[in-house]
Amino acid sequence: MTFLELKGIRKSFDGVHALKGVDFTVEEGEVHGLVGENGSGKSTLMKIIAGVYTPDEGQIRLDGRLVTDNSPFFSSVSGISVIYQDLSLFPNLTVVENIYMGKVVSDPGKFVNPNKYIQTAIDALNGLGVAINPYDLVEMLPIAKQQLIAIARALTNKTRLLILDEPTTALTRKEILQLFGILGRLKEKGISFIFISHKLDEVLEICDRVTVLRDGGLVGAEAAKNLAVGDLEAMMLGKSLTFERKTSSSAKPDEALRLERLTKKNNFADVSLTVKMGEIVGLSGLLGSGRTELALALFGIAPADSGKIFVNGRESRIESVDDAMARGIAYVPEDRLLQGLVMDHAIGDNIVLATQDDYLKKSRLIDRKAMQSMSERWIRDLGIKTDSSRKSARVLSGGNQQKVVVAKWLAMNPAILILDSPTVGIDVGAKSALYETIRESAGKGMAILMISDEMPELLSNCDRIYVMRNGRMIREFDAQKITEADLRGALEMSGSTSFRGVGV
């Protein structure tokens, strides 16, 4: 039976069409995937279902009945709950308090009897079959458990449709499997899910049907069992993205970076690797493998405890970002919004931020004019789409923002460039432009260490690929001699207890 039906939904903001007549249905007890590139209209559609936005045109039906006046309140009493990517929990409160907080709002009466709710909350946790101490503070728990708490909270609210926005981004593989197990059990009870994700293999793994959006329009809705990742990509992009296997290498014989048994307690242990000048080396691993922690140690943010680092053949101590930069190490961080850019300041200022020393005049004052012309040069060279270097970085698209971060580090002309998940959440055009830039830099002799878990990206760009798991380096591959399956196998080898891994 159809629980939710949307017909011909249109919505525009400031004259920009976010949704251009989209149909969408969710059956009872169905897990429905919703995929599309950034800006394809996924989140607008989600917010229309949740009653946050009102559509300009189109119909919404719940259980076949027409909904005329949707609102967050109405959708919530109709049994629709949303778990946003940030989970919307209260870090300062205990697990039970978080779970029953929804009831506190929805139940009539001005008084609250916590004791009455505690049992409901504990029951909700037990219903998920997870062991969480109900009196722990939420901020002390790992993300995976917080996610389950958010689900438990939604379930206390007689939820019939649960919308999950990118639920697996911060989870390790083991945690994802646990989550999928729980979703499966809830599905049998007749609860429906909308699963929004950019991880296409996971979408196909858990979903019954998948709806694909592109540029605010509906591309199609098909049963997951008839689809492959490639099909979905083609639908999302409107063309199939082909990754050419890498054939030539610009690697030179000299080593730019060598690590010997680098160790940091509770982060990684005995990591050894080498990167030659002009070589592009991949570093792969799932979340919680220690790949980002290793990069942070190399860049001096969270220095290693023991082991040796050789830069251009000389043993180097890296205790701070200053140390790292002085040795020519640059780092494009994982979290572009928080770590990569000063969003509200000018694009130009962001580009020159790491190289302020280059613009000192004899008077020790900085030359703003030189700064501006240099940043304009980078904007041209990398094709950053903006009409002025003075605009704030926030107005740029994700891909262009990432180009700004890369420009900031290329301006330093580093010997070693570390890129952490450089293409997550950016569109195809920007992706291939970035690859081009990376290869060009390697061609000039720069050593590149690219952290990624996207197989095609690694295979088409890298000369060699290292794989980390549970804080240790487990494999090293020659990229030209392996298949995607080999790499995937190494990544997902069922390991020992995987705990938690979130960037800084």
Q: Is 267 in the site for another protein (CB under 8 A)?
A: yes
- 496 scored as a contact of another protein (CB under 8 A): yes
The contact mask relative to another protein for 80-99 (x = CB under 8 A, - = no) is ----x-x-xxxxxxx--x--
Position 431 contacts another protein (CB under 8 A): no
| d(C-alpha 162, C-alpha 152), whole Å | 11
Task: Closer to another protein by CB, 91 or 230: give it.
Answer: 91
**CA atoms of 168 and 79, how far apart (whole Å):** 23
Decide if 313 contacts 370 (C-beta within 8 A).
no
Q: Which listed range, 24-32, 343-351, 455-463, 478-486, lies at the site for another protein (CB under 8 A)?
A: 343-351
Please report, as a single letter, which amino acid is at residue 63: D
Task: Work out how close the CB of 233 gets to another protein at its nearest, in angstroms, rounded to a whole number.
Answer: 29
> Nearer Cβ to another protein, position 166 or 293?
293
The residue range among 19-27, 120-128, 260-268, 374-382 that interacts with another protein, by the rule CB under 8 A, is 260-268
Q: Per CB under 8 A, does 135 bind another protein?
A: yes
Among 396, 399, 398, 289, CA closest to 345: 396
Q: Is 301 exposed, middle or buried (0-12, 13-18, 19+ CB in 10 A)?
A: middle
- Looking up tokens 């969003």 gives 343
3-state SS track over 248-311:
CCCCCCCEEEEEEEEEECCCEEEEEEEEECCCEEEEECCCCCCHHHHHHHHCCCCCCCEEEEEE
Q: Judged by CB under 8 A, does residue 167 bind another protein?
A: no
Which residues ranging from 104 to 123 are in contact with another protein (CB under 8 A)? 104-106, 109-114
The whole-angstrom separation of Cα 5 and Cα 192 is 13
**Cβ distance 42 to 34 under 8 Å?**
yes
Using CB under 8 A, which of 85, 126, 240, 266 touches another protein? 266
Q: Which of residues 366-395 bind another protein (CB under 8 A)?
A: 366, 368
Q: Are 163 and 80 in contact (CB under 8 A)?
A: yes
Q: Which of 23, 63, 476, 486 binds another protein (CB under 8 A)?
A: 476
Site string for another protein, 46-65 (x = CB under 8 A): -x----xxx-----------
Record the tokens describing residue 142, joined without a space: 């790992």
Q: Rounded to the nearest whole angstrom, what is the least distance from the CB of residue 104 to another protein in the complex?
A: 5
Nearer to another protein, 345 or 377 (CB): 345
Distance CA 283, CA 15 (A): 43
Ramachandran area for residue 119 (φ above 0: left; ψ -120 to 50: alpha; else beta): alpha
Q: Give the nearer residue to another protein in terms of CB position, either 56 or 254.
A: 56
Single out the residue of 196, 227, 449, 473 in contact with another protein (rule: CB under 8 A). Answer: 473
Q: Which is nearer to another protein, 389 or 461 (CB)?
A: 389
Give the shortest CB-137-to-another protein separation in angstroms: 7
- We find the least distance from the C-beta atom of residue 459 to another protein, in angstroms, to be 20
Tokens describing residue 182: 């729980």
Assess contact for 77 and 157: CB atoms under 8 A: no
Query: Which has the closest alpha carbon to 209: 230, 198, 229, 195?
Result: 195
Q: Under the criterion CB under 8 A, does residue 471 sit at the interface with another protein?
A: yes
Q: Residues 292, 202, 434, 420: what is their CA dihedral angle, to the nearest 10 degrees?
A: 0
**Using the rule CB under 8 A, is 408 a contact of another protein?**
yes
Applying CB under 8 A, the span of 61-69, 179-187, 226-234, 332-340 interacting with another protein comes to 332-340
Residues 268-327 that bind another protein (CB under 8 A): 268-270, 272, 288-290, 293, 299, 301, 320-322, 325
| Closer by beta carbon to another protein, 13 or else 254 | 13
Q: Binding residue for another protein (CB under 8 A) from 345, 431, 439, 488?
A: 345
